[in-house]
Amino acid sequence: MNAITSKFPTASLIDGNWVQSKKTFAVTDPATGEEIARVSDLGAIDARAAIDAAAKAFPAWAAKTAKERGAILERWFDLITAETESLAQLMTAEQGKPLSEARGEVAYGASFVDWFAEEGKRAYGRTIPTTAASRRYITIKQPIGVVAAITPWNFPVAMITRKVACALAAGCTIVVKPSEETPLCALALAKLAVDAGVPAGVFNVITTMDAVAVGNVLCADARVRKLTFTGSTEVGRILYRQSADTIKKLTLELGGNAPLIVFDDADLDQAVAGAMASKYRNAGQTCVCANRILVQSGIHDRFIAALKVAVAKLHVAPGRDPKSTLGPLINADAITKVQALQADAVKHGAKIIVGGSVDGHGAQFYQATILSDVKSEMQIAREEIFGPVASLIRFETEKEAIDIANDTPFGLAAYLFSQNISRAWRVAEALEYGMVGVNEGVFSNEVSPFGGVKQSGLGREGAAEGLEEYLETKFICLGGIS
């Protein structure tokens, strides 16, 4: 353990107690492969204990007023904000992203805590005009109960705060299983939540290498009334099936295959800036990053030339390097996948404009890459790349762009660049995606709903819609009125 990781716990949190097991696993720095900490490797028994704790804590937490819960969340927000640098350093150490991006993620993650501290006070019911003079109709909103959250490695702070803050604001208690790649940020956030006054059992964190066993417990236990998961569509399907017997409410934020469409009438500089922000942020390891860049023929060559200039300005280096703008991929499997998708594309006619290989900084660093002459039937245009490879597809007409963009089972995020407001509105409506950025390459924030359609998931996170995911509507019919 080093100075960066020693400030926060490496034990799991169950019922307000820090649980350190004899069995542990290593957390490594993806930039160097060096071990930076060891955390508890818990299992099914511990998962059940965490559910026990959450179930026991639920009645008292749900009984608090929204204002009382909000005050605790505001203290949590203040502590997260005060520890921005420590959390950013920790994130870069275990996840690899540049420090500038890590600091931005801490602020982004904290914004959900701040937002839901207030939004919890707006869990409104309503009165309904009666159908009989002797009756009055009312609805109220109540917390759904114990929640299980399974979070990914690519945004190890924001993916937790977006779920936990919302659940707690609604009056739910929660058990979090973070990714085994990045458990330290989850434990740090839990420590700050305890310091803020979150009661024992309300927020529990289970670290484990046995995701299958722990996931089975979370899905099978009827006391867990909701499951929220961010990750691959493949795993989402499994969790969906496993939750069927107990009829859980689900929020699933799954895989994407985001198109970024650049029309002839786009502002070239704006389009390139948007593509850079969307494609190369977190080394391309985001579910909403531009997986396919569709460029209309009239602007195609100029766009490639400008994108090439912008890519040349990226600085590949370990995230702790102040100059770094492109860090490592998370593990060796990620590198293998990127190489395989690129090789298949080149085999079928794609051309490497820049990049195209592992960078000299280390085995898990990949050069910022641009591929031209990509076709929509290529594997690289059908699967999430999850790496810093921009695959460019030329198109001729608006209809062709829409058809290519929608030709996927996924529907999380899409982007388009055009200075024609009629076209922008028309295409945004036609795209089969849960979120569309018009002349913007990054659009996610705490006040707007985040989520996809088709096989990219169910439900929404953030905004008022996010709070609804953790509430049940109860109808009360008051009769006998004379």
Average pLDDT, integer, range 210-226:
98
Helix/strand/coil for 258: strand
Query: What would the pLDDT profile of 1-54 be if each residue is shown by its tens digit?
Result: 566 778 899 999 999 999 999 999 999 999 999 999 999 999 999 999 999 999
Q: Which strand (E) or helix (H) includes residue 436?
A: strand 435-438
Q: Is the pTM of this model over 0.85?
A: yes
Query: What would the pLDDT profile of 348-390 be if each residue is shown by its tens digit?
Result: 999 999 999 999 999 999 999 999 999 999 999 999 999 999 9
139 — alpha (psi -120 to 50), left (phi > 0) or beta?
A: beta
User: Which residues participate in catalysis according to the annotation?
Assistant: 253, 287
**What is the distance between the alpha carbons of residues 290 and 286, in angstroms, rounded to a whole number?**
9
- At 84, the amino acid letter reads T
Percentage above 70 pLDDT, the chain? 99
For the chain, the structural domain boundaries read 3-254+456-476, 258-446
Identify whether the C-beta of residue 326 lies closer than 8 Å to the C-beta of residue 280.
Answer: yes
Helix/strand/coil for 182: coil
Q: Which strand (E) or helix (H) includes residue 62?
A: helix 44-63
Report residue 441's pLDDT band, with 50, 70 and 90 as the boundaries.
very high
> Which top CATH class is 258-446?
alpha beta
Report residue 145's pLDDT band, with 50, 70 and 90 as the boundaries.
very high
pLDDT value at residue 345: 98
CA distances from 300 to 12, 293, 307, 475 (A): 51, 10, 10, 56
Output Rg (C-alpha) for the chain, integer angstroms: 23
| CATH superfamily label, 3-254+456-476 | Aldehyde Dehydrogenase; Chain A, domain 1 (3.40.605.10)
pLDDT value at residue 1: 56
